[in-house]
Amino acid sequence: MAVEPFALSGQGVTGCFPGGTAVSRVRIYDWPTVDGLRGGSPHVHLTCTEGYVVVAGRGRLQTLGPDGAVEVPLGVGDVVWFTPGVIHRAVNDGGLEVLVVMQNAGLPEAGDAVLTLPPEYLADPGRYAATVRLSCPDRADPRDEPTARRRRDLAVEGFLALRDAVVAEGPSALDDFYAAAANLVAPRLATWKERWRSGPVAVVDETGRQLAALAEGDRSHLRQGGVFSCSAPAERYGMCGWLTPYAPQGQRRV
């Protein structure tokens, strides 16, 4: 069968995953950490809503946000999502695997996430980058496991301190963390805006063009439909677990 590269064109959007979203599969880390739980690295997204579809195992989602400190049980078939600003930690109570759907495909891949490292790391962009950086980000090289574990443990340390502060003072205790996170990503905002315009915004605009065309009796876009696929990439060390991200640019027309 012939394949064509995924593309965005001036005449319309070809092959974007539904809604301009991104999809990945995550096997949540089973590494124990300081509080006796097993799981991933707590972090926050600044512009993207994230959704979990639990496909195996059981666990919990621990969050910090406007509703304070919240814990949601996770079991097979459960669907849970959280909006920008909600700090989240996936806890693995046994074989937890989730299908992740991310808003704004392209932005999460460009760094729309900040780990809850202790304040001294957040205050120094160079130190933060050095702490979270993997030597082989495109596949799970065993040599990177110590780094993935260390950044996870530091993020849990910061998360537990933030949770104590939220319990004692309320959600306003997160303000300093939010300010530090926004400062860290500020240099990327112009790039993010372009990714957003050429991806998710283009998908929404294409729907508008299709609606307008149908209203005028123009059905030509129906003759341009296609079936697209994306092969599973190499598993890698992610924030929450062993990550298999289906990159938007990896889609092909069947």
In this predicted model, what pLDDT tens digit does every residue of 85-123 receive, in sequence order?
Answer: 999 999 999 999 999 999 999 899 899 999 999 999 999
Mean pLDDT of 164-176: 98
**Residue 208 confidence (pLDDT) above 90:** yes
The per-residue pLDDT for 122 is 98
Q: What share of the chain in percent tops pLDDT 70?
A: 91
Mean pLDDT of 121-139: 95
**Predicted confidence band at 254 (pLDDT cuts at 50, 70, 90)?**
low
From the candidate CATH numbers 3.20.10.10, 2.60.120.10, 3.30.365.10, 2.40.50.140, the one assigned to the domain spanning 21-189+235-243: 2.60.120.10
∠ CA 33-141-26, rounded to 5°: 60
**Residue 245 confidence (pLDDT) above 50:** yes
The per-residue pLDDT for 175 is 98
What radius of gyration do the chain's Cα atoms show?
A: 20
Across the chain, what does the average pLDDT equal?
91
Mean pLDDT of 27-51: 97
The per-residue pLDDT for 10 is 35
How would you classify the pairing of strands 241-246 and 22-28?
antiparallel
The per-residue pLDDT for 101 is 96
Domain ranges of the chain: 21-189+235-243
Nearest residue to 240 via CA among 172, 162, 179, 151: 151
Residue 127: CB atoms within 10 Å: 13
* Per-residue exposure over 203-227, b if at least 16 CB sit within 10 Å of its own CB, e if not: beebeeebeeeeeeeeeeeeeeeee
**Residue 5 confidence (pLDDT) above 50:** no
How crowded is the C-beta side of 136, counted as CA atoms within 13 Å?
11
**Predicted confidence band at 225 (pLDDT cuts at 50, 70, 90)?**
confident
The per-residue pLDDT for 249 is 53
Write out the DSSP string of 186-241: GGGHHHHHHHHIIIIIHHHHHHHHHHHHHHTT--GGGGG---EE------EE-SSE
Contact predicate 221/208, CB 8 Å:
no
**Predicted confidence band at 24 (pLDDT cuts at 50, 70, 90)?**
very high
Beta-carbon contacts of residue 169 (< 8 Å; ≥ 6 apart): none
Mean pLDDT of 143-158: 97
**Predicted confidence band at 12 (pLDDT cuts at 50, 70, 90)?**
very low
**Predicted confidence band at 8 (pLDDT cuts at 50, 70, 90)?**
very low
The per-residue pLDDT for 138 is 87
